[in-house]
Amino acid sequence: AQTVTQSQPEMSVQEAETVTLSCTYDTSESDYYLFWYKQPPSRQMILVIRQEAYKQQNATENRFSVNFQKAAKSFSLKISDSQLGDAAMYFCACMNRDDKIIFGKGTRLHILP
């Protein structure tokens, strides 16, 4: 069975500082995708960053980067230079080749001015 675990229900970071959100996953698939989604108060899922499991290089998108440790099945999200607009729920997700997607429980990120 595919599982995704986010062990931090809530986190806070000072504006302009760096924060890392943890995610571990378990899958028996050899080929899969990992995502971080942001959920603002309007509640839809917005993609933050995506990583293909066969790629060793960590994905980056502007201030967002991941630390993908395939052997450890770890996929953490680093947000640099945190901004007030980054405050949201963040969900880690794993999708296999059959498009079955499993989300973690989410981490609520607070940005302190």
Partner 1 sequence: DTAVSQTPKYLVTQMGNDKSIKCEQNLGHDTMYWYKQDSKKFLKIMFSYNNKELIINETVPNRFSPKSPDKAHLNLHINSLELGDSAVYFCASSQPGGVYNEQFFGPGTRLTVL
Write out the residues near partner 1 by the rule CB under 8 A: 9-10, 33, 35, 37, 39, 42-47, 50, 89, 91, 95, 99-101, 103, 105-106, 108
Q: Which residues contact 100 (CB under 8 A, 6 or more apart)?
A: 2
Instruction: Select 10 or 17, whichever has its Cβ closest to partner 1.
Output: 10
CA distance 103 to 18: 24
CA distance 69 to 53: 10
Instruction: Select 70 or 105, whichever has its Cβ closest to partner 1.
Output: 105
Instruction: Select 17 or 52, whichever has its Cβ closest to partner 1.
Output: 52
Instruction: Write down the least CB distance from residue 105 to partner 1, Å.
Output: 6
For the four alpha carbons of 57, 29, 107 and 11, in that order, the dihedral sign comes to negative
